[in-house]
Structure 1
């Protein structure tokens, strides 16, 4: 599928049109947090944030939300099933022929071989039904920028083969998968670091309170997207925990590449057609660019704005992540809404306002990357960030 056919749906202008929808989902998130305050429920935040990002990307892709943020368990069985694909993704990435072969197995054998395939197949069938429903109700007068697949089906640059349900279902897997887990995981990591670093949270809250005087009113995109400290917090979260950790491969097919090693005063010639790759997980922890790289320190981005040259979370150039603008808006808006309302619980704020506290969360086990499974993964069995809401 031509990349240009999707570009317009993820431009800054198009994403700004999603403000009412993202506001609505964020409002439901805050209500769920309030409810947890009454019940003293321990919230597994990766499930909570996945419900948020799933509702956003499904609403935008198909014009229909799954309403996971309203589900008592945040649709955890489905999310856990899809997560299990990560356990074998590193094998499937190296053996490209294996996934189509597994996909040919009947459900009974697939559930025994790779159980997560059954969940994936169910999702594919649901996406196919939604795409067919959109096709059947297709109307040229519909504002196609509000619905990605409506727009693709109405596209004048795509062939009939590109518009087939089978082909668009593959695109659905990419859009939903990329738009769900990556942003949700970064939101989880950012929430942890803010709660684990009270001085940083106080500084962020001061900025949010100055810009958003009334904590009961959700901000606008315009209010939050240019806040300097919030921007630095988001950038630091993206540096420390990229949504995708796999190597980003590139090939220059028609020209030799020249790499200059300034430290050794050497030049290296990389012949045309040679695959070259790098991973943000390694680059963004290099101390020569990011001193004390294991420390969450948003101030580094304010002290040196040019650090963004070394931020590869969304890649660079013509292959930059299509969903970057959507991810940024979700992170800005959700973090601003949550931390404008909630403080850090330390025993002294009880009765003064709603607050959050970490619950049995250990950074080395639950937050930091321990395994590279296409996405940064913590220890096996970890539940990630867990919190309690205090009121």
Structure 2
């Protein structure tokens, strides 16, 4: 890991911290554990868009929901602001990009980016269509059902096929293993890790899942490398195995495994959650649904993209993006934040800022057609050098899944109140699973 650079501020610069809540710290910490999102909403309304709190796991933290300060954080050198500590690498492994900072992070990210941009993404669209059609064949007609679990299966199967390129015993095991790992890992991610992973504890169970994953992926790596057509394979695993740094070195097997687990874990839960919210939202907004249906019959996706963006704003699945102050003093706006502090951007509070999004509780895709929002007011994938590598892939997935469903099913509208939030630990999903009623458009065929 590279050393922190010399800072511009004097070493003796005294900390100048944002205001702290006028309630006992222990109550704030308990509220974060029990109800993170409403607690952050309340603190933002009561004490402003930049405040100092102490949070379990992350310690002394600056919570920000101001677009100008968000811009500063996301454009600050990654040598000044490291990834938040602790981060998801404690679950995903030390070889994951989440664990890296400075130069190591930059060169790894450059190595990981190619499979998730441009022509590479276009090549995966047919997989999205196929997996969506395979799942929707079993959807009940005229009976309300939850869309979250079907979306979880669709997005998991998509990312498995994109990563490994084929089916087989190992992929079947991963289809069973990954959802259990993600569900448990999401809950543990916001809790302190024990010093020992005792077998009968949740952390011990997570470690057991991890060991099984490593055996399966090691087999798949060996099989890929022994494939006579290895050099021509386009799956993500093969692309990772063939890629090399500028000095000619490659990722180790362990690092490849950690990066693949990162993609499997992060690459399906958040996308599936957003899709479940999309069905929940459009079923309650008939005019939005009417426009989506009309557009799905053509090749355009302008309004569908605006709808996806508005779902990500109106029902933000991931509520924080965090950093860690690596230098001795970091000047954030008018404040001076000392080394070791966490800096967290409240994405939900950014997305509900009435100055950026008038009447923020209203679901209205038109706002993304009339004018694009401030770049640092709408950040569902985070920002800066740590913006989600798979953002473009996830956007393509959501677009194609929605198009495929709309072409094959009529979604019934409802006057029922919107579903409440449910915390899965890391992600927030519809409490009832995004329930809808659908009817097949053509009983004999399903079209992509």
SS of residue matched to 1:390? strand
Residue 363, structure 1, aligned to residue 418, structure 2: yes
Structure 1 residues 175 and 20: CA distance shift in structure 2, 3 A: same
Residue 47, structure 1, aligned to residue 149, structure 2: yes
Question: Equivalents in 1 of 2:342, 2:354: separation in Å?
Answer: 26
* Match of residue 219 from structure 2: 129
Aligned counterpart for 1:197 among listed residues 274, 285, 305? 285
* Match of residue 384 from structure 1: 433
Residue 268, structure 1, aligned to residue 338, structure 2: no
Task: Spell out the pairing of 1:211-290 with structure 2 (5 A cutoff).
Answer: 211=298, 223-224=299-300, 227-249=301-323, 251=325, 253=327, 256-259=330-333, 267-270=334-337, 275-290=342-357
* Match of residue 425 from structure 2: 373
Structure 1 residues 341 and 307: CA distance shift in structure 2, 3 A: farther
Give the structure-2-normalised TM-score: 0.65
Aligned counterpart for 1:57 among listed residues 159, 165, 183? 159
- Report deviation, 1:384: 1.4
SS of residue matched to 2:190? helix
5+ residue gaps, structure 2, are 1-96, 98-107, 441-448
Aligned counterpart for 2:380 among listed residues 294, 300, 313? 313
Q: Relative contact order (alpha carbons < 8 A, sep ≥ 6): 1 or 2 greater? A: 2
SS of residue matched to 1:3? helix
- Report deviation, 1:333: 0.8
* Match of residue 91 from structure 1: 191
Structure 1 residues 84 and 270: CA distance shift in structure 2, 3 A: closer
Q: Deviations over 1:139-192 (max 9, x none)?
A: 56324xx21121221223288996333222211210101111010000000011
Question: Equivalents in 2 of 1:373, 1:9: separation in Å?
Answer: 29
Aligned counterpart for 1:165 among listed residues 253, 264, 268? 253
RMSD between superposed Cα atoms in Å:
3.5
* Match of residue 179 from structure 1: 267
Residue 26, structure 1, aligned to residue 132, structure 2: yes
SS of residue matched to 2:151? helix
Question: Equivalents in 2 of 1:44, 1:80: separation in Å?
Answer: 19
Structure 1 residues 83 and 151: CA distance shift in structure 2, 3 A: same
Q: Is the 8 A contact 1:47 1:76 kept in 2?
A: no
Further displaced range: 318-327 or 240-249: 240-249
Q: Is the 8 A contact 2:230 2:238 kept in 1?
A: no
* Match of residue 219 from structure 1: none
Q: Is the 8 A contact 2:411 2:438 kept in 1?
A: no
* Match of residue 207 from structure 1: 295
- Report deviation, 1:55: 1.1
Q: Deviations over 1:33-71 (max 9, x none)?
A: 3xx33xx6654311101111111111111112579xxx9
5+ residue gaps, structure 1, are 212-222, 260-266, 347-356
* Match of residue 15 from structure 1: 121
* Match of residue 237 from structure 2: 149
Q: Deviations over 1:238-276 (max 9, x none)?
A: 1123342233225474884351xxxxxxx3344677543
Question: Equivalents in 2 of 1:258, 1:129: separation in Å?
Answer: 47
Q: How many pairs align?
A: 333
SS of residue matched to 1:233? helix
Q: Deviations over 1:108-132 (max 9, x none)?
A: x246665455445433432332223
* Match of residue 64 from structure 2: none
Q: Deviations over 1:70-127 (max 9, x none)?
A: x9xxx688625531322221014xx4xx48x42xx4xxx2466654554454334323
Structure 1 residues 362 and 25: CA distance shift in structure 2, 3 A: same
- Report deviation, 1:32: 3.0
Structure 1 residues 389 and 120: CA distance shift in structure 2, 3 A: farther
Question: Equivalents in 2 of 1:139, 1:167: separation in Å?
Answer: 23
* Match of residue 342 from structure 1: 409
- Report deviation, 1:303: 2.2
